A and B are shown apart, each in its own frame.
Chain A
Amino acid sequence: QSKQAMQVGTAHSDPNPNHIYFNSRGIWMTYIIFILIAHFIILSIPFISVGLAWTLTCQVHNFITYLWLHWEKGAPFEPLDQGESRTLTHWEQLDDGVQFTANKKFLLVVPTVVFLLATFYSRYDQIHFIANALSLVVLSIAPKLPMFYRVRLFGINKW
């Protein structure tokens, strides 16, 4: 029995719900709560220090949001846009490709805040700083800039 692609509802005019779901009520808070839960889970590991826990939170957050927003392309359902979003990452689909919307500014600010907290709680240690700053800039800040809109470096992840 083959798997059928899920068809999305057609009750609104947007052919791809990926464009607009991040405007839903409470979704910003949900995102922050997810980060807090992940942080508490990491904090509960008994033998690591607070600084390491924060660094781990920062790294894991950047890595997972990179996969979610900038690596996976298309949609898990069958949108009605005649294949336009098949080669677009989720970041490029959000808000229909418009840059600097409120959602996108929020998603830029959150990893920065997590980074600042991580460096604060790791007491500005050099190795933690390098790790956090690298993952922040490469995984979280750079792909969100308009100059990287629809850019695929070295053909990686293009198809």
Chain B
Amino acid sequence: MLIFVADADVSWEFSDLIEAIYSAPTYHLVFEGCLILFIVGLLFQHSFLPSKRRGGSGDRLSKAEEDQLIAEWQPEPLVSGDPADEALLASYQRCATSQVGRSVTYSDGRTLVNFATGNFLDFIGEARIRDRALASLRHYGVGSCGPRGFYGTMDVHLHLEEQLAKFYGCEEAVLYSYGFSTIASAIPSYAKRHDIIFADERCCFAIQQGLEASRSKIIRFRHNDTAHLEELLQRQAEHDRRNPKKARVTRKFIVVEGLYVNCGDICPLGELVKLKYKYKVRLFVEESASLGTLGATGRGICEEAGVSVQDVDLIAAGIENALATQGGFVVGTKYVVDHQRLSGLGYCFSASLPPMLAAAASEALTMVDEMRGERTARLKSVSDRLHQRLLAELDNLWSVEGAPMSPIKHLRLHRCTGENSLPALEAACAAAADAGLLLTVARYVAQDLGQPAQPSIRLSVNCNHSDSEIGSLLDFLKSYATGLAKK
């Protein structure tokens, strides 16, 4: 029965083999018969895509439901006709005829002091940067006409990346051509499905787009509340203890901003680094507003908080604020940052930064380095003075949100002056333009989850704002609010 060893005594004539079929046990033939029928039956099945009931979303609609939805559909008007949009549309009619620097001239002849744009270090109009950009324009032309991997890399890009890495004291930098897409590309190149990201609830829209693109599980913690973050991390650690196999393949990240554009607050980086090491989470910091504005020499939140740059896994920033050009970058260790050269989608699949702008950014960065924090300190003192005067003189008229030394502040009408609504603030900005000041209401996309409950006027302070300009701003705010309160 058992044929395991060499079978010299068994015949291998074909007729004998066929006879063996007839003498096979019945159960065997039955099994084989059923198997053949089963397989042949499966071969006649049509191919189909299984519904994603398990492990995914996407319920399919029945034909009747589809038809009903199509019949019920009413097209929305292209233009909403919402009166709140009138002020926004009117602002697009405004046309600047000068550079949008510390002051702006408009086509109607008015010159306004600019408290609206993020020109923190007053580099707009700086002759040195302009000359370097023009020289670069004559040498390279305007656009780079290609992504970094396809003839779009020029020596200015490599030079700027080296310079950025050296400025921060990191190993490597990656240059992007648009500040918004920097963090929106960086996050999904590391965080994938089944990963977990702890994000501050007031993060900017660019970070939110990155979080959404990553397809990870997003856990939002209360703004700047490290106790809440620790509670959430603790809860996650308990989940991990119960399912260690899953935990071993789950990557966890914390995403914060150095200086929050939506609030004007500074993140508690020291405590975040402690949490990072305690719970083994990666820390990503977005520094668009804190580059050049925080730290003794303008090196951002790490310098400000006294944290070593090696403790932060990734620093991403747009250079569209303090450095007054276009683009963005990511710095960190070579191991972390080099990954984006192939999987940072905004890096691989967008044209590279125009060499003219890369040269201008390089010059601006050199200036920041040479100044050794002089303008940064001046910016902090101007912001602080403005903050103290706002608190002292306008406390019962306007409420101010933001750290004292932050160049971004959010103003809201106090309850006693009237309703803090979007039209009211727009009217205030229009009145400010009549008084020679350029103010703006902070605007958000409808899906922006980081927007505040109450609208606000976002002030952006320039390091070279004079005392008289600050004074005129405060005078306007006081007189306007008092006028409102009287009504």
Contacts and interface: CB of A to CB of B under 8 A. Distances in A.
Interface stretch (B45-53, B81-89, B357-365, B425-433): B45-53
Given A51-B3, A82-B214, A159-B246, A124 B20 contact: yes
B4 A100 contact: no
Interface string B1-21: 111111100101000010011
B3 A159 contact: no
Contact of A2 (B10, B42, B335): B335
B485 interface: no
B306 interface: no
A133 interface: yes
A83 B215 contact: yes
Contact of B48 (A83, A99, A125, A127): A99
A49 B194 contact: no
A127 B3 CA distance: 10
Interface stretch (A23-31, A33-41, A57-65, A104-112): A104-112
Instruction: Output the residue of A10, A82, A151 with the most chain B CB within 10 A.
Output: A82
A96 B45 CA distance: 18
Contacts of A159: 243, 245-246, 248-249
Given A49-B5, A129-B28, A123 B50 contact: no
Contacts of B32: 116, 119
Contacts of B7: 49-51
B47 A101 contact: yes
Interface size class of A (residues with CB under 8 A): 35 or more
Given A105-B42, A119-B32, A150-B54, A125 B47 contact: no
A143 interface: no
B78 interface: no
Interface string A73-115: 0000010101110110000000011111100010011001001
Interface in B120-159: none
A52 B25 contact: no
A21 interface: no
Contacts of B417: none
Contacts, number: 115
B264 interface: no
A139 B78 CA distance: 58
A13 interface: no
Instruction: Output the residue of A100, A128, A146, A149 with the most chain B CB within 10 A.
Output: A100
Contact of B194 (A87, A119, A123): A87
Interface in B20-43: 20-21, 23-25, 28, 31-32, 35-36, 39, 42-43
A97 B50 contact: yes
B343 interface: yes
Given A82-B214, A83-B195, A151-B54, 5 more contacts: A83-B193, A99-B49, A119-B32, A120-B21, A150-B55
Interface of B: 1-7, 10, 12, 17, 20-21, 23-25, 28, 31-32, 35-36, 39, 42-43, 45-50, 54-55, 188, 192-195, 213-215, 243, 245-246, 248-249, 335, 339, 342-343, 348
5 contacts: A48-B6, A49-B10, A98-B47, A100-B48, A127-B2
